[in-house]
């Protein structure tokens, strides 16, 4: 990507004479414009380029603050003699302005510090330092390799995607692209980390400019996309915070994967910002309203009309409360239809009064149940409330 190695047939002017009598050297010139048939043509082009650069510096110097002081400083600097060095392979004054990428008697040269995916032209000259003459090899050109581009996955409208990092290394990354529908070019990106102690960062950019970069945790992250026809989404796994690898049986990691992120992208034609969230994601149960066959639950909603679905799961006698709660990242798509109890729409314009209740019946006496509430919307990942375990009364 950044270097080219050249080789050529040795010149008889160099190989035919002993080192003590040899006054010839190779000079390899490189540029990004063209090949030169003679060293004179190359020198003229280089001098013209230097003159143009000097002219640009002169124009810039004229508009620089305190130009007289600046020029005086450089005059003082140049007045001090520099260290005198001599090189046995240095060229005569006639060739002093040459910027040889390689110089000497070796017929191989590696040119470094080049730009990726760029075409360069290479010329090799044999220079006679004693007589001030030169001869040219036939020039060549080569294009450096382009940088390795990561695979970019296109996200479909409304697609819910699990992003997994299989690499056990400390750092791993994936790239995605999204094109919002509609002339407004707006959309909503929703993410949630499911990797426990995994550190994941999302960076959204468009046309090479970074729009936002933030950490993704267990809580939902909403990123509003607006004003660009396409977006590049970069997910990077930065490592494990606690130094421990999640267990294969962790319910938050399907299939025991090392890390997971839930992500959804959707176009938003009429919205002007991210959707509102409830003030708390806790579910409350009323002990006085707890019976042998039913319980009453309450939770906070939002001022937006949304669908709330309640799921229940009966626990065995040996299941502990710490292991019975549903993993935060598992949404309703992972639940059985038999676990769904009810779904209802709710809306309250006053956030302080946005409380809704539900009576869950058909339960068995003296049994423990885990209840989950999901806030379902057209845009974004469903919002899961904290699981609530409630035990029905044995006697009523």
Condensed to tens digits (0 to 9), the pLDDT of residues 334-386 reads 888 999 999 999 998 888 889 999 999 999 999 999 999 999 887 778 889 99
Question: What are the angstrom distances between the C-alpha of 172 and each of 89, 149, 198?
Answer: 49, 15, 11
pLDDT at 257: 45
Q: How many CB atoms are closer than 10 A to CB 177?
A: 13
Condensed to tens digits (0 to 9), the pLDDT of residues 94-125 reads 677 788 999 989 999 999 999 999 999 999 99
Strand, helix or coil for residue 263:
strand
Residue closest to 356 by CA, chosen among 373, 371, 379? 373
pLDDT at 372: 94
pLDDT at 395: 87
DSSP 8-state secondary structure symbol assigned to residue 380: S
Tokens of 363: 């339960």
pLDDT at 327 > cutoff 50 = yes
Residue closest to 262 by CA, chosen among 194, 321, 318, 335? 194
Condensed to tens digits (0 to 9), the pLDDT of residues 58-103 reads 777 665 555 555 555 556 555 555 544 444 444 445 677 788 999 9
Residue 266 near residue 156, CB atoms below 8 Å: no
Tokens of 103: 């110089």
The residue ranking higher by pLDDT, 68 or 236, is 236
Condensed to tens digits (0 to 9), the pLDDT of residues 156-209 reads 988 888 888 765 554 688 999 999 887 777 888 999 888 666 778 999 999 889
Tokens 């309640």 found at: 310
Parallel, antiparallel, or unpaired: how do β-strands 198-206 and 340-346 relate?
unpaired
Residue 159 near residue 264, CB atoms below 8 Å: yes
pLDDT at 114: 93
Tokens of 13: 């002017």
- pTM for this structure? 0.55
């Amino acid at each position: 990507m950044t270097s080219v190695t050249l080789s050529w047939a040795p010149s008889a002017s160099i190989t035919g004479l002993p080192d003590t009598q040899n006054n010839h050297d190779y000079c390899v010139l490189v540029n990004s414009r063209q090949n030169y048939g003679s060293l004179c043509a190359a020198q003229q082009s280089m001098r013209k380029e230097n003159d143009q650069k000097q002219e640009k510096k002169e124009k810039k110097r004229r508009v620089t603050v305190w130009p007289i002081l600046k020029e005086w400083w450089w005059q003082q600097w140049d007045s001090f003699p520099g260290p005198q060095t001599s090189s046995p392979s240095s060229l005569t004054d006639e060739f002093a302005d040459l910027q040889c990428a390689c110089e000497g008697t070796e017929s191989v040269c590696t040119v470094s510090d080049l730009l990726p995916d760029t075409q360069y032209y290479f010329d090799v000259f044999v220079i006679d330092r004693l007589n001030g003459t030169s001869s040219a090899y036939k020039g060549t050109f080569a294009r450096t390799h382009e940088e390795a581009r990561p695979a970019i996955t296109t996200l479909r409208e409304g697609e819910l995607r699990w992003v997994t990092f299989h690499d056990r290394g400390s750092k791993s990354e994936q790239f995605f692209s999204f094109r919002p529908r509609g002339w407004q070019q707006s959309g909503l990106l929703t993410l949630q980390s499911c990797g426990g102690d995994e550190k994941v960062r999302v960076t959204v950019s468009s046309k090479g400019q970074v729009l936002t970069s933030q950490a993704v945790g267990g809580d939902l992250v909403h990123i509003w996309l607006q004003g660009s026809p396409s977006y590049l989404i970069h997910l990077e796994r930065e490592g494990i915070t606690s130094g421990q690898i999640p267990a294969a049986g962790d319910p938050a990691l399907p299939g025991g994967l090392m890390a997971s992120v839930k992500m959804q992208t959707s176009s938003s034609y009429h919205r002007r910002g991210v959707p509102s969230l409830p003030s708390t994601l806790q579910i409350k149960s009323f002990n006085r309203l707890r019976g042998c066959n039913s319980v009453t639950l309450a939770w906070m909603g939002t001022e937006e009309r949304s669908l709330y679905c309640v799921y229940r799961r009966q626990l065995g006698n040996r299941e502990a409360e710490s292991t019975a709660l549903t993993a935060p990242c598992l949404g309703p798509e992972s639940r059985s239809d038999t676990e769904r109890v009810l779904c209802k729409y709710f809306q309250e314009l006053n956030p302080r009064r946005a409380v809704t209740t539900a009576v869950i019946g058909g339960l068995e006496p003296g049994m423990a149940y885990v209840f989950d509430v999901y806030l379902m919307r057209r845009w974004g990942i469903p919002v899961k409330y904290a699981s609530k375990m409630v035990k029905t009364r044995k006697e009523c």
